A and B are shown apart, each in its own frame.
Chain A
């Protein structure tokens, strides 16, 4: 079993749609959780940290369920510029990245 598993994707959605990404992790001792975004042939960039109580940043909402070892990212009112690969990242002793889920938002 992979340490961090994500929806395989790809997700192809129209502008304005709501899309949700899921991620599970295997290390119950993991301490911190993040969502990163990676554009094609670019470096990953931090999108948001994921807090135990859940957190929201504009159109983006992240949730954490420690009991189920599950993280989610919800994007509302998706824009063309949201097209990217979204990486679930879990930090224990080091950072472990999921393989990513590719999102394409179409006009």
Chain B
């Protein structure tokens, strides 16, 4: 039973380019969460999605950032026109719809984005 998968693990972009981060949740999980972690800082919630729906995007910057979780395929976090301040580790987590107490989240290995 594969865990949460993220790719790429490392992504280098120049300022102004687009970054696309992908996340495949654990099998049977339909809730996906994206977090950002800046160096030496804690995890910051960005967005919570279920299939084809954004449930909570209160942590997403208003511009340049978007997320989707289509009916088929992985969840995508998209950052347009990247800037140096976007350099961070981006973690995806997933949780089950039911059957587990407290909706524990399981994390993927993260994508480390470096903007040159």
Point out residues on A near B: beta carbons under 8 Å.
31-32, 34, 41-46, 49, 87, 91, 93-100
Contacts and interface: CB of A to CB of B under 8 A. Distances in A.
Given A43-B108, A44-B107, A97-B42, A91 B102 contact: yes
Interface residues of B, number: 23
Contacts of A34: 102, 104
Contact of A91 (B41, B43, B103, B109): B103
B41 A97 contact: no
A97 B102 CA distance: 15
With a 10 A CB-CB cut-off, give which of A34, A43, A46 has the most chain B CB atoms: A43
A91 B33 CA distance: 13
Nearest to B4: A43
A7 to B, nearest CB: 13
A97 B107 contact: no
Given A87-B42, A97-B44, 18 more contacts: A32-B103, A41-B89, A42-B110, A43-B108, A43-B110, A44-B107, A45-B107, A46-B105, A49-B101, A49-B102, A87-B43, A91-B103, A93-B56, A95-B33, A95-B105, A97-B45, A99-B42, A100-B42
B69 interface: no
B48 A97 contact: no
Given A43-B91, A87-B43, A97 B104 contact: no
Contact of B109 (A43, A87, A94): A43
A25 to B, nearest CB: 13
Nearest to B109: A43
Contact of B45 (A41, A45, A49, A96): A96
A10 to B, nearest CB: 11
Contacts of A31: 102
Nearest to B95: A95
